[in-house]
Amino acid sequence: MLFGKRDPLHPYERGILEAIAMAAPDDLSTLVRAQIDQIGHVQRSAASPEINFYRDRKGRPFDEGSLLPNRDEIRVADLTVRIGGQQHKGHLYAVGGQIFSLVLRPDVARPKQAVAENIDIGPINADLLSPLPAASSAALEIAPASFLNRDSHIQDQSNGRWTALQTAEIYAVALEQADWVVLGQGPQAQLLLGRRTEEREAFCVANLESDDIRPLGASSWVTALREAEEGAA
């Protein structure tokens, strides 16, 4: 607890992140530690094994100087850890240059009091320090509408500033050497993007004018659209 403020991280979460920072090479460790210090909001859900880290509730990005050179969605490291007497396997992901999502299986019992022990961090992904091209509106191409198993209900989802694309309007964008599907359009050249990996569906907001990427913690495109709108408020 710093300056009397409540630590947004549970003890086991902080322990895992600090262990990863310690295991990383010096140049990467400095960036990870700087990002840990900026975490002000943590999103947890009983329905998902993901724990998502944010600067604040609006999802503002971390300081530019602390972002990882690789701005793609990328696995940082695999790990094993003992929490509350139970063994867990986990992965830490980065999105948009930010450490973002910690996935642990099985779920942690009594997480508020739990402490991480016997943390074993696997090799740190060397690609984290490899810069990739910035987002570009010139890299657009048509993609199958079924990329994220979208259905006919999409045309019913819209709000004041963000609008979901209808099924026939969905297209793909090559964002930093990864294929994302554009699910919605917002103000100021912002796009709501979705991407499916082998393990999860990921969502982010990309600003094609400033090249900013804001990861979202949503588990579906409907909640991602809502989160994008709330972050812009």
Which amino acid, one-letter code, is at 193?
L
Query: How many beta carbons lie within 10 A of that of residue 30, not counting itself?
Result: 13
Contact 79, 91 (CB under 8 A): yes
Give the integer Cα–Cα distance in Å for 18 and 39.
13
Domain borders along the chain are 11-129, 140-232
Structure tokens of 21? 């920072």
Q: Give me the residues paired with residue 214 across strands.
A: 205
Cα(91)–Cα(76) distance, rounded to whole angstroms? 7
Q: Backbone phi, then psi, for 129, in 5-degree steps?
A: -100, 10
Return the SS3 of 147.
helix
pLDDT for the residue numbered 167: 56
What is the block-wise mean pLDDT of the chain (233 residues), using blocks of 10 residues? 72 96 95 97 85 88 91 89 94 91 89 91 91 43 37 40 61 60 75 73 75 75 72 59
- Is the full-model pTM beyond 0.75? no
